[in-house]
Amino acid sequence: MKMDGERFNSKLIEIETINENTKILKFSVPPSFEFKAGQYVTLALYRGDKRILHSYSIFSSPNEKGYILIYFKKVEDGFASNKLFNMEIGEEIEMKGPMGFFTTKDINKDLIFISSGTGFAPVRSMVLNALQNNSKNKIILIRGYRIESSLCYEDELKTLKSKYKNFEYFNILSKPLDKDYSLTGHVQDFLEKLIPRGFMGDFYMCGLKEMVNGVKEKLNEMGFSKEQIFFERYD
């Protein structure tokens, strides 16, 4: 597998809308395209004659062939995200990939995945990859979002929890509309409660730096070493 990626033209083949500013786009990829869970692609977008590059983590599993999924949020003044958000089925775009080193080091360990917002993209790919490769160890997913409408792929996660007895997940909301929502706050507020006693595995997290830094600080306080902690920041 080339670590610096290959260049290719991709076609948008499906659009899934999560809420008013978040979508999942399905893009074609060549038969030769292979990636590791957690890697990303770089998209080339044009503003007039100016070529603008922007990278997005791959949301789908490496076991899915012929296409990849991109999960992203439209940023108010973000040229790339707005351009993507307004793409129509059949449109083509230039891509390069896969790239990146935020990948699972050892799926035969107990694993805890932590994400906020669209940081769920590489994390979903990693979770699916571990489960589909028959990891028998404990796999825990902790997701942080603002409100209920931002939650995505809930049905899939429920199905995975039912199918794989070693998998469980938790959704933490910072501003839930339901005032009785049990996990209200930020992900770092619940780590002591949700991490099993005696946990010896690895942590993988992705999201904005405020979450990543907060979780790293909390894990260090709890006695986990930096060798157990892997992360990717989106800003």
Query: Tokens 């003044």 label which residue?
Result: 77
Q: Which of 99, 119, 145 is the last residue of a domain?
A: 99
Domain-embedded: residue 72: yes
Domain-embedded: residue 105: no
The domain of 135 spans 111-233
CATH number at residue 160: 3.40.50.80
Domain-embedded: residue 1: no
CATH number at residue 47: 2.40.30.10
Digit-coded pLDDT (tens) for 157-171: 999 999 999 999 999
Pairwise CA distance, residues 102 & 233, whole Å: 10
Pairwise CA distance, residues 74 & 86, whole Å: 10
The pLDDT, as a whole number, for residue 1 is 46
Q: Which residues contact 111 (CB under 8 A, 6 or more apart)?
A: 104, 126, 130, 135, 137, 138, 139, 140, 201, 202, 203, 204
Residue 124: pLDDT above 70?
A: yes
Digit-coded pLDDT (tens) for 191-226: 999 999 999 999 999 999 999 999 999 999 999 999
What would the mean pLDDT of 111-121 be, rounded to a whole number? 97
Say whether both 17 and 75 belong to one domain.
Answer: yes
Domain-embedded: residue 168: yes
Say whether both 90 and 117 belong to one domain.
Answer: no
Domain-embedded: residue 52: yes
pTM for this predicted structure: 0.94
- Strands 40-47, 50-57: pairing kind: antiparallel
Say whether both 35 and 144 belong to one domain.
Answer: no
Q: Which of 78, 99, 120 is the last residue of a domain?
A: 99
Say whether both 183 and 91 belong to one domain.
Answer: no
Domain-embedded: residue 11: yes
Say whether both 116 and 228 belong to one domain.
Answer: yes
Say whether both 155 and 200 belong to one domain.
Answer: yes
Confidence of residue 234 (pLDDT cuts 50, 70, 90): confident
Average pLDDT, the chain: 95
The pLDDT, as a whole number, for residue 208 is 92
Digit-coded pLDDT (tens) for 26-56: 999 999 999 999 999 999 999 989 999 999 9
Check residue 223 and give left, alpha or beta (phi > 0: left; psi -120 to 50: alpha). Answer: left
Number of domains in the chain: 2
Digit-coded pLDDT (tens) for 78-97: 899 999 999 999 999 999 99
Say whether both 228 and 118 belong to one domain.
Answer: yes
Q: Which of 45, 79, 99 is the last residue of a domain?
A: 99
Say whether both 131 and 160 belong to one domain.
Answer: yes
